[in-house]
């Protein structure tokens, strides 16, 4: 079902409603670009490792989102994945701040594996206000606004509430780091989950969509090392508004790329 502006289903109004509507419109526009480019040849570069990929479409979508938002909200600040990779500082101030991942699941995108999303989060006074995630190939629009619920194409989301690991489907991601210590940690965590008789463990290649599955109740828990704020910002609002919890293993720091668990 193709999403529309009416698919957010939250009550109208709110101090940041114009920003929310802009995020929805831009996520849908970005999704059209990504869908078209998915089947085309791509120029692929690497960033921190051979598994940390970026394409011209990542840059195109990020530039589109930021340039359009800057026209409408010139005083706002931005944190975006590819800008950060190019050396821009990630500083979350009290100012209204957009946190953008133009393509979450770039490795999937490069291989034409259709689990890819665009993610737009928005924070004010260092508090997340809303998140918009668009699953481009399935045309699923996930939204969450603080205090107003989480939705997918107009249907309210609710986490599963499962607390028994033996009945839980757990999601995780490998991430781009492939050094021996990181791989050992990833595999040992996977082994412990399987020994603990989790129903299943899944890796889908997109942290934002994994978190949306969590918010919808299709999975019961998620963990990962090394996530960044653009991976988490939009999804955090959606999960919280769906009744879930998002945390790292030490403090509740949005910009700390450390260990995050969601349930």
pTM as predicted = 0.88
- Catalytic, 231? Answer yes
pLDDT of 54-84, one tens digit each?
A: 889 999 999 999 999 999 999 999 998 777 6
Per-domain residue ranges of the chain: 5-156, 165-262
DSSP 189: H
DSSP one-letter code for 4:
-
**Residue pair 26/68 in contact by the 8 Å Cβ criterion:** yes
The Cα 236–Cα 234 span in angstroms is: 5
Q: Which of 58, 81, 129, 173 is catalytic?
A: 81
Residue 258, pLDDT > 50, answer no
Q: Is 220 among the residues known to form the active site?
A: no
Measured at the CA of 117, the angle between CA 114 and CA 119, to 5 degrees, comes to 175
Options 101, 129, 173, 220, the catalytic residue: 101
- Rounded CA separation 229/86 (Å): 16
Q: Is 63 marked within a binding site?
A: no
- Residue 81 marked in a binding site: yes
> Does the annotation place 18 within a ligand binding site?
no
Question: 85 exposed, middle or buried (CB, 10 Å; 0-12, 13-18, 19+)?
Answer: middle
User: What pLDDT, on a 0 to 100 scale, did the predictor assign at position 4?
Assistant: 55
239 is catalytic: no
pLDDT of 256 over the 70 cut: no
Half-sphere exposure of 199 (CA within 13 A, CB side): 13
106 flagged as catalytic: yes
The active-site residue out of 82, 104, 129, 173 is 104
Question: How many CB atoms sit inside 10 A of residue 259's CB?
Answer: 14
Catalytic residue among 57, 106, 143, 208: 106
**What's the whole-number mean pLDDT along residues 89-94?**
81
Once rounded to an integer, what is the mean pLDDT over residues 3-17?
Answer: 61
User: DSSP characters for 142-182?
Assistant: EEEETTTEEEETTEEP-------GGG-EEEE---S--SHHH
Measured distance CA(191)–CA(213) in Å, rounded:
22
Q: Is 231 annotated as a binding residue?
A: yes
55 carries an active-site annotation: no
Q: Does domain 165-262 have CATH number 3.40.710.10?
A: no
pLDDT tens-digit map of 118-171: 999 999 999 999 999 999 999 999 999 999 999 999 999 999 999 999 999 999
**Catalytic option among 231, 236, 238, 241:** 231
Q: What confidence score (pLDDT) does residue 2 get?
A: 65
Residue 249, burial from CB neighbour count under 10 angstroms (0-12, 13-18, 19+):
exposed
d(CA 195, CA 210): 22
Q: In the CATH scheme, what is the homologous superfamily, with its name and number, of domain 5-156? A: Fructose-1,6-Bisphosphatase, subunit A, domain 1 (3.30.540.10)
């Amino acid at each position: 079902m193709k999403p529309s502006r009416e698919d957010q289903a939250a009550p109208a109004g709110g101090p940041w409603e114009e920003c929310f509507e802009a995020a929805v419109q831009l996520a849908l526009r970005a999704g059209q670009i990504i869908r078209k480019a998915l089947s085309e040849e791509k120029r692929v570069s690497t960033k921190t490792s051979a598994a940390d990929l970026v394409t011209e479409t990542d840059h195109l979508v990020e530039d589109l989102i930021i340039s359009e938002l800057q026209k409408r909200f010139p005083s706002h600040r931005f944190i975006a994945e590819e800008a950060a990779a190019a050396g821009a500082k990630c500083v979350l101030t009290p100012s209204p701040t957009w946190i953008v991942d133009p393509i979450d699941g770039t490795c999937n995108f490069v291989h034409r594996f259709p689990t890819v999303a665009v993610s737009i989060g928005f924070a004010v006074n260092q508090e997340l206000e809303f998140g918009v995630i668009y699953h481009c190939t399935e045309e699923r629009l996930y939204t969450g606004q603080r205090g107003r619920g989480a939705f997918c194409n107009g249907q309210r989301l609710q986490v599963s509430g499962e607390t028994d690991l033996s009945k839980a489907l757990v999601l995780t991601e490998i991430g781009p780091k492939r050094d021996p210590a990181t791989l050992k940690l990833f595999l040992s965590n996977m082994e412990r989950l399987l020994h603990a008789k989790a129903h299943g463990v899944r890796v889908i290649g997109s942290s934002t969509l994994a978190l949306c599955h969590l918010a919808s109740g299709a999975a019961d828990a998620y963990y990962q090392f090394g996530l960044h704020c653009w991976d988490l910002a939009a999804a955090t609002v959606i999960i919280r508004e769906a009744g879930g919890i998002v945390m790292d293993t030490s403090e509740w720091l949005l910009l700390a790329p450390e260990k995050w668990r969601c349930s």
